[in-house]
A and B are shown apart, each in its own frame.
Chain A
Amino acid sequence: MKYFFGLFLLLLSVGAHAQIDDTLFLKGIKSLDDGAFLYHQKKFVSDVERPFEADGVFQLVRDKGVILKQKNPEPWVFVSTPTRYCFDDKAGDLADLPYFSYIKKAVDDLLSGQDEALYQIGDVAYMEKDGLWFVDITPTQKRVAQFVRKITLRGKEKISFWKIEYTDGTRIEMDFVPIKQDFSNEIDC
């Protein structure tokens, strides 16, 4: 599980720390740390009759970390700070995450405002249309590509959707709706 925390963090850091540019994508990504979001998740797993649905809230605060609180069907809380992570009552150092070192460079670069790291993970396709932006990332870095086939992000002013397709056929789709709530004081490990 720890490995996937790493991937998850990588995605979040893309939004939180990418260089400010004039593309709608980067504006949308930047807006990620502008308040909390409600999310609705659908997870499609091969050989399972129906998708698994879940919902909860998530918030990202620049330089502080991220919180992901699933409310249904089973409540759990995932928190990540710049150095630590916790999942419910389990906690650990980010540096101890197995294989995290493989993507740590990209995460560190993004945290320091360099979005070139994103391009090192894979091929990035970007498109804007009618005020909407679409980003497709196809990982080419072997260790990421081993597990992730494609990442899709979509949004307008703010990010509204992402999709991660894994090589084993699993697909996760998440829709985001901004909410006026603040969970930043819960971002602590």
Chain B
Amino acid sequence: MKSIVKRWVAGMAFLGAVALMLCPPTFQASLTDLFPVKVGDTPLPADGLAKYTGMLNIVLQSPDFDAARKDADRLYQKMTAAGIQDITYRVPENMTAQMIDFLKKHKNSYVTDKTRLSSTEAVRQRAVQKVKTSLAPTVLPLREDPFLLMSDYVQNMPRPMSLWNEKEGVLHQFSDGENYILMVAPLEKKDVYLMMQQIDLIKQTPLSAATKLHLSGAPVHTEQMFQKCRQEIAVISVLSLLGLLILTYRLFRTRRALLLGAMNLGIGFLCGCVALFLFCPVVHILTFAFGSSLIGLCIDYSFHRFYAGPEGSRAVLKNMTSSFLTTVCCFVPLLFSSFSLLFQVAVFTLGGLTGTFLWVLVAPVPKVNPPAVRCPRFVLSRRSKVAFVALGVLIVLMGVGGWHLNHNPSVLYQPSPALQREEALFAKLNGPAAGRLLWVRGDTLWEALAKEESLRQKHDFFGLSVLLPANQEQNRQFVQRLYKEQSAALQSALGLTFQVAYKETPAVDEKAFWDAFLMMSAFVVRTPRDVWTVTPVPADVPDLGDKDVLFFEPAKHLSAALDRQATDSYGLLAVSFLLLAGLLGVLYRGKAPLYLLPSVIGSLGTLSILALCGESLTFFHWLGLFVVVGMSMDYTVFLFNSPRESFRPVLFSFLTSFIGFGLLSFIHFPMIAIMGKTLALGLGLSFLFSFILSSESIDTPAANVRRGRAPRKSGTSSTSKKSAVFFV
């Protein structure tokens, strides 16, 4: 009856899990997705942000402009046919003339801030001086613009941050005998596979022999990194799996153990995913990378359970429960983190771990019958143990000075030399990289423009409000007053042959503006709730602290967010250690510090060794420490409580994790490599110190060995009698 209920419960749980897996949540892949950018409490529109951070720069280079132009046309057609939209390529010919024609039609609306804030007399005097000087000819004939307001506006117009010029309707540059034509395409960033296809399509487009294609921008970096990581991960997965299979087979000498291990792993992963999908509507794929400790723990549980067999169940279950609780203590604080990735890692790990643990508890113990292997006894003098611990502490202390965070993009990511050359070329052609986007929010476009204008009064830069001013009414009122007060004086000062009189011009309306300047739509992002103007600005534009104004630098933002999360994770790690200390105190009383020591030395020693090797620490190192502590407590609990019986499963479990994570440290994707390094080193140190501290002390009960007496039995006596003895 009991078994029927169990089967029903298991069956229902399985069906529920499958149902959840069939309708997974939304997945995020980019690191920037983890750190939403906010202006006050309003997040920047994600689509708009992706548009500006996911631009692909396509530059065609050729000594022959016509050939490059034909190639560019062909490429543009192919890209649009493939569904790539909003490509910046064709620009209106004679843009300046068009712009001046437009401004002329609405000239009373265009007055510089400086002019509007001056007295009418000062404006008249300046106009007289300018008309007379050889350095200042006028944009419009004097009859149309006697106070030179339009000339003043055009001549003081800030230059857009770009060195590209229009030539025959495309963005062009000529440098060192070569023609360069620019296209900018916003690629589909959310779907990495689609983005890769799009880049591939661009690369495959046939070009004339003399034309070279240069690609740069965030999508190319993503594509190259993804391609490289995919290959590396495939190789590493095969090697890790091979290692796992060999070690499992070596431990149990039966293929049945492989199946049982895989089943445990499958259940762990399924439970982890179910928990994750239930609690997190949006899941970041990094969760699976940092939740990979689950694999190690599932393998651990399998090894211990199967190795002990039905006879050793009670002792193993006791150790397993302690181990499970210590891991829970380690990950529970992450559930209270405000950082979504930490929360997801905790949910995934705890869900999977709980599932595996319950499964191991209720599942019948299979008969694997591992081979009887002599397990050597390891004996250390207390003095040696103290010396080892002192060495560990010394390593930690030696490296503490080098624990400094560095989240510079170069630490987290290093592009290939070829891609670096492409980026350098684009930077040379495009001018000094702004790297800084100004986002201004408004409930309406005019509100956003007014805020942008007030910022431009403090520091001039090119933005949408240059061509579409918000304060048109004030400008028009000023112009009217100027004509009323100064017309006669101007006429007499210059000796004009015509009557200076005010003429009304229509205000600029949005529709007319977009008809004339469609390209300027790149400066606007609209959401159902608000409107944003976006423009690249120089580094010296000051941040005045307006809640609706944000200066966004992707690299800086990411760096600051990671710094913040790393700092937060110190506290969480401390809480984990405190909880662990409390639990170990309850379970092992006075020995609790000893149980904690391998994990402490393992985790802190890892940071110190990496620092001594000159590696800068990142948030991902700190995140790796949670996994190190969570997994290494398992080694400690088993080795301390039953050193000889558990030695082989712990050793093999450690080796599987060490190989898996160690191989990951060779991946070119820094975040994964950091995790691999931290875990391999941390687990190695923790295992080593667990082993050292769990070895028999020569001067306590095992001191008898030296005197030729039998040591105290600590478990299975039959093997211990035959075992080798190691002294240190």
Residues of A within 8 A of B (CB): 1-5, 8, 41, 43, 45-50, 52, 54, 68, 70, 73-74, 76, 78, 87, 96-102, 105, 142-143, 146-147, 164, 166, 168-170, 172, 174
Contact in complex: A1, B135 (CB < 8 Å)? yes
For the complex of A and B, the 8 pairs showing the least CB-CB separation, nearest first, are A49-B495, A52-B132, A98-B159, A166-B137, A168-B141, A170-B137, A1-B136, A1-B155
Q: List the A side residues contacting B157 at CB < 8 Å.
A: 98
B42 touches A (CB below 8 Å)? no
Q: List the B side residues contacting A172 at CB < 8 Å.
A: 134, 137
Q: List the B side residues contacting A170 at CB < 8 Å.
A: 137-138
B312 touches A (CB below 8 Å)? no
Residue of A nearest to B141 (CB): A168
Q: In the assembly, what is the distance between CA of A147 and CA of B163, in Å?
A: 20
Contact in complex: A48, B131 (CB < 8 Å)? yes
Q: Which of B129, B133, B137 contacts A147 (CB 8 A)?
A: B137
Question: What is the CB-to-nearest-CB distance from A43 to chain B, in angstroms, rounded to a whole number?
Answer: 6
Contact in complex: A52, B131 (CB < 8 Å)? yes
Q: Which of B134, B136, B495 contacts A50 (CB 8 A)?
A: B495
Contact in complex: B154, A3 (CB < 8 Å)? yes
Residues of B within 8 A of A (CB): 93-94, 96-97, 100, 129-143, 152, 154-159, 163, 165-166, 174-175, 494-498
Given A99-B159, A146-B96: A5 and B495 interface contact (C-beta under 8 Å): no
Residue of A nearest to B165 (CB): A102
Question: What is the CB-to-nearest-CB distance from B219 to chain A, in angstroms, rounded to a whole number?
Answer: 27
Q: In the assembly, what is the distance between CA of A101 and CA of B157, in Å?
A: 14
Q: Which of A3, A43, A47, A166 contacts B143 (CB 8 A)?
A: A47
Q: In the assembly, what is the distance between CA of A97 and CA of B163, in Å?
A: 12
Contact in complex: B155, A142 (CB < 8 Å)? no
Q: In the assembly, what is the distance between CA of A155 and CA of B418, in Å?
A: 53
Main secondary structure of the interface of B (DSSP, over half): loop
Extra contacts, 17 of them, besides A5-B135, A47-B141, A168-B140 (Cβ < 8 A), are A2-B155, A4-B135, A43-B131, A45-B142, A48-B131, A50-B495, A70-B133, A73-B132, A74-B129, A76-B133, A87-B135, A98-B156, A100-B159, A143-B96, A146-B100, A166-B138, A168-B141
Contact in complex: A47, B142 (CB < 8 Å)? yes
A-B pairs with beta carbons under 8 Å apart, 17 shown: A1-B156, A3-B154, A4-B155, A8-B135, A48-B494, A48-B495, A49-B496, A50-B495, A52-B132, A101-B165, A143-B165, A146-B96, A146-B100, A166-B137, A168-B139, A168-B140, A170-B138
Residue of B nearest to A102 (CB): B165
Contact in complex: A105, B133 (CB < 8 Å)? no
Q: Which of B130, B135, B496 contacts A47 (CB 8 A)?
A: B496
Contact in complex: B141, A174 (CB < 8 Å)? no
Question: What is the CB-to-nearest-CB distance from B1 to chain A, in angstroms, rounded to a whole number?
Answer: 86
Contact in complex: A47, B498 (CB < 8 Å)? yes
Q: List the B side residues contacting A87 at CB < 8 Å.
A: 135
Q: In the assembly, what is the distance between CA of A47 and CA of B499, in Å?
A: 10
Contact in complex: A142, B96 (CB < 8 Å)? yes
Residue of B nearest to A53 (CB): B132
Contact in complex: A174, B138 (CB < 8 Å)? no
Residue of A nearest to B157 (CB): A98
Question: What is the CB-to-nearest-CB distance from A81 to chain B, in angstroms, rounded to a whole number?
Answer: 17
Q: In the assembly, what is the distance between CA of A49 and CA of B497, in Å?
A: 6
Q: List the B side residues contacting A166 at CB < 8 Å.
A: 137-138
Contact in complex: A4, B141 (CB < 8 Å)? no
Q: In the assembly, what is the distance between CA of A70 and CA of B599, in Å?
A: 80
Q: List the B side residues contacting A3 at CB < 8 Å.
A: 154-155
Contact in complex: A46, B132 (CB < 8 Å)? no
Q: Which of A46, A78, A147 contacts B142 (CB 8 A)?
A: A46
Q: In the assembly, what is the distance between CA of A47 and CA of B138, in Å?
A: 13
Q: List the B side residues contacting A48 at CB < 8 Å.
A: 131, 142, 494-497
Q: List the A side residues contacting B163 at CB < 8 Å.
A: 101
Q: List the A side residues contacting B143 at CB < 8 Å.
A: 46-47
Residue of B nearest to A170 (CB): B137
Q: List the A side residues contacting B137 at CB < 8 Å.
A: 4, 147, 164, 166, 168, 170, 172
Q: In the assembly, what is the distance between CA of A168 and CA of B132, in Å?
A: 15
Given A45-B142, A168-B140: A78 and B135 interface contact (C-beta under 8 Å): yes
Contact in complex: B96, A47 (CB < 8 Å)? no
Q: List the B side residues contacting A1 at CB < 8 Å.
A: 130, 135-136, 152, 155-156
Contact in complex: A146, B134 (CB < 8 Å)? no
Given A98-B156, A143-B96, A168-B139: A45 and B134 interface contact (C-beta under 8 Å): no
Q: List the A side residues contacting B159 at CB < 8 Å.
A: 96-101
Q: List the B side residues contacting A45 at CB < 8 Å.
A: 131, 138, 142, 494
Question: What is the CB-to-nearest-CB distance from A116 to chain B, in angstroms, rounded to a whole number?
Answer: 11
Q: In the assembly, what is the distance between CA of A43 and CA of B94, in Å?
A: 28
Q: In the assembly, what is the distance between CA of A36 and CA of B154, in Å?
A: 33
Question: What is the CB-to-nearest-CB distance from A85 to chain B, in angstroms, rounded to a whole number?
Answer: 11
Contact in complex: B155, A47 (CB < 8 Å)? no
Q: In the assembly, what is the distance between CA of A74 and CA of B126, in Å?
A: 12
Residue of B nearest to A171 (CB): B137
Contact in complex: B141, A98 (CB < 8 Å)? no
Q: List the B side residues contacting A41 at CB < 8 Å.
A: 134
Q: List the A side residues contacting B156 at CB < 8 Å.
A: 1-2, 98
Residue with the greatest number of chain B CB neighbours at <10 A, chosen from A1, A8, A70, A73: A1
Residue of B nearest to A143 (CB): B96
Q: In the assembly, what is the distance between CA of A102 and CA of B162, in Å?
A: 11
Q: In the assembly, what is the distance between CA of A60 and CA of B156, in Å?
A: 26
Q: In the assembly, what is the distance between CA of A185 and CA of B171, in Å?
A: 42
Q: List the B side residues contacting A46 at CB < 8 Å.
A: 141-143
Q: List the B side residues contacting A70 at CB < 8 Å.
A: 133
Contact in complex: A146, B135 (CB < 8 Å)? no
Q: List the B side residues contacting A74 at CB < 8 Å.
A: 129, 132
Q: Which of A52, A101, A102, A147 contacts B139 (CB 8 A)?
A: A147
Q: List the A side residues contacting B96 at CB < 8 Å.
A: 99, 142-143, 146
Question: What is the CB-to-nearest-CB distance from B170 to chain A, in angstroms, rounded to a whole number?
Answer: 14
Residue of B nearest to A99 (CB): B159
Question: What is the CB-to-nearest-CB distance from A3 to chain B, in angstroms, rounded to a whole number?
Answer: 5
Question: What is the CB-to-nearest-CB distance from A103 to chain B, in angstroms, rounded to a whole number?
Answer: 10
Question: What is the CB-to-nearest-CB distance from B466 to chain A, in angstroms, rounded to a whole number?
Answer: 10
Q: List the A side residues contacting B166 at CB < 8 Å.
A: 142
Question: What is the CB-to-nearest-CB distance from A105 to chain B, in angstroms, rounded to a whole number?
Answer: 7
Question: What is the CB-to-nearest-CB distance from A46 to chain B, in angstroms, rounded to a whole number?
Answer: 6
Q: List the B side residues contacting A73 at CB < 8 Å.
A: 132
Q: In the assembly, what is the distance between CA of A166 and CA of B141, in Å?
A: 10
Q: List the A side residues contacting B152 at CB < 8 Å.
A: 1
Residue of A nearest to B174 (CB): A105
Q: In the assembly, what is the distance between CA of A35 and CA of B498, in Å?
A: 43
Q: List the A side residues contacting B498 at CB < 8 Å.
A: 47
Question: What is the CB-to-nearest-CB distance from B124 to chain A, in angstroms, rounded to a whole number?
Answer: 15
Residue of B nearest to A68 (CB): B135
Q: In the assembly, what is the distance between CA of A70 and CA of B135, in Å?
A: 11
Question: What is the CB-to-nearest-CB distance from A29 to chain B, in angstroms, rounded to a whole number?
Answer: 19
Q: List the B side residues contacting A68 at CB < 8 Å.
A: 135
Q: In the assembly, what is the distance between CA of A143 and CA of B139, in Å?
A: 12
Q: List the B side residues contacting A97 at CB < 8 Å.
A: 159
Q: In the assembly, what is the distance between CA of A48 and CA of B166, in Å?
A: 36
Q: List the B side residues contacting A146 at CB < 8 Å.
A: 94, 96-97, 100
Question: What is the CB-to-nearest-CB distance from A4 to chain B, in angstroms, rounded to a whole number?
Answer: 6
Q: List the B side residues contacting A101 at CB < 8 Å.
A: 159, 163, 165
Q: List the A side residues contacting B139 at CB < 8 Å.
A: 147, 168
Q: In the assembly, what is the distance between CA of A49 and CA of B152, in Å?
A: 23
